[in-house]
Amino acid sequence: MAVNRDRDALYASIHPSERQIAYQQTEFYGFIHFTVNTFTDREWGDGTESEAVFAPASLDARQWARTARDGGMKGLILTCKHHDGFCLWPSALTEHSVKNSPYKEGRGDVVAETAAACAEYGLKFGVYLSPWDRNNPSYGTGTPYNDYFIGQLTELLTNYGEVFSVWFDGACGEGPDGRRQVYDWDRYYRTVRALQPGACICVCGPDIRWCGNEAGDTRPSEWSVVPRRLCRAETVEAKSQREDSAAFRQRCITSSDMDLGSREALRQEDDLIWYPAEVNTSIRPGWFYHAAEDDQVKGFDVLRRIYLCSVGGNATFLLNLPPDRNGLIHPADAASLTELGRFVRGAFRDNLAQRAVFTAADALEGFGPDGLTQPGYDRYFRTAEGVYEARVDAAWTEPQRIRYVVLQENIRLGQRIERFDVVCDDGQGGDRLLYSGTTVGYKRIVELPETALVRRLSVIIRDARVFPTLAFFGAYGPYGGD
């Protein structure tokens, strides 16, 4: 396909908001699915559950936060209300909540406990509030339910400190004969903006895009600029998830959804937004804890692969850790996650590029490669206007063992890189190709097929939509069993 530079300039002119940048920098964070379902052994409660079933014996939100922090996560999002309508906080607007449960004899507030634990362990805190509510009698009556939902949102966004994510789920299993509620999305969004201007509205919202599956599947080329209509996709009833099933949870990205933002995909789209992807999956087959799944916890290798492909594939990674009936994250889940945390901290600790000498022939004056090992967007590499290719070389005096290469664009200026190669010195002054990739965006983690021993490592940007930028270059050795 011939490149249309005017179209490319349009795509690259779409930039993220500050709240979206902060969200992308959160990178890896946890989901806590916990409600009456934990005690009834279900995935979707029907709203008729008695508050009396909610009786965690030794709930400890600090254990959740500690496990998340040790696992390398930077935040937690709690299901404050799932589809069953049961509220984990003592909402003044319904009797269907912890206040009528045996938990702490009705004086508990799981939202407050989780928010406090997050603050203690340096994690961001987010709220999941299901629009579909199978308990509240006003559901399906229009404005009265929207008022109820706004009231709940207001409680959550005023009483529990700063919130980084407001997660609206599109699922609705009412079916054709069920109650039909027309959600007032714009009013919901205005409320979030007014009460928590720094929070991203996710999935059924304009800030963060659902990656399109729950299995942890990722796109090899993930673009953050996509057609605006996608931010309405999950809010449209016909497209929403209508029933819970293991098959739905295991389904991968369909081929028709694989390419959302390439030049070809955007060719006839004029209304575009910055809408980065979030990969959400559970550490277990279900979103809620089921003792029968204790032997089906995703192992370190699976988590590691999803981490590298999501955080390292221009998406964020939201991993669910469902507490058990005691109110604790099960040891098997904690063990897998802790191993991942060790990997994330260990593998990317020592950036060998900090000891390299950088050169780049195509740098625009004042935007050379010297700041590339410092995170952040204040200093970055770029070429001159109209130059779509670039080469950055990092050279060492002694050969280095390299297994991972990390690249970041300065996404403040949009997503630009279309194609790049990683090459090393072939020993005769030429280049040996180690890896060919497409998108970079917020972050690309390249895992080389095997550890390379190199004196020089180069990134060659082969094509970009407008002049390319690089904000970070990391080179790391093998880790553990690599």
Instruction: Please give the residue ranges that form the binding site for ligand FUL (CB under 6 A).
Output: 43, 169, 171, 241, 244, 280, 287
Least distance to ligand FUL, CB of residue 314, Å: 21
Q: Which is nearer to ligand FUL, 27 or 169 (CB)?
A: 169
Q: How far is the CB of 102 from ligand FUL (least distance, A)?
A: 24
One-letter amino acid at 118 equals C
Q: Which residue, 242 or 305, has its beta carbon nearer to ligand FUL?
A: 242
Q: Which of 205, 203, 179, 169 is nearest to 44 (CA)?
A: 169
Closer Cβ to ligand FUL, 224 or 280, answer by number: 280
Burial of 289 (0-12, 13-18, 19+ CB in 10 A): buried
93: helix, strand or coil: coil
Listed in sequence order, the residues at least 6 apart from 319 whose beta carbon sits closer than 8 Å to its beta carbon are 28, 29, 30, 31, 73, 280, 281, 282, 283, 303, 306, 337
**Distance of closest approach, residue 472 Cβ to ligand FUL, in angstroms:** 31
Cα torsion angle, 248, 249, 254, 259, sign: positive
d(CA 79, CA 65): 15
| Half-sphere exposure at residue 372, Cβ-oriented, CA atoms within 13 angstroms | 31
Map residue 191 onto helix, strand or coil. Answer: helix
The least distance separating ligand FUL from the CB of residue 137, rounded to whole angstroms, comes to 22
The minimum distance between CB 298 and ligand FUL, in angstroms, equals 15
Check if the beta carbon of residue 383 is closer than 8 Å to that of residue 403.
no
CB 48, min distance to ligand FUL, A? 17
Residue 158 in contact with residue 113, Cβ under 8 Å? no
Closer to ligand FUL by Cβ: residue 79 or 438: 79
Residue nearest to ligand FUL (CB): 171
Residue 287: CB minimum distance to ligand FUL, A:
4
Joined together, the tokens standing for residue 334 give: 């904690």
Q: Closer CB to ligand FUL, residue 166 or residue 171?
A: 171
- For ligand FUL, the closer CB: 242 or 462: 242
Query: Quick one: 40 or 241, whose CB is closer to ligand FUL?
Result: 241
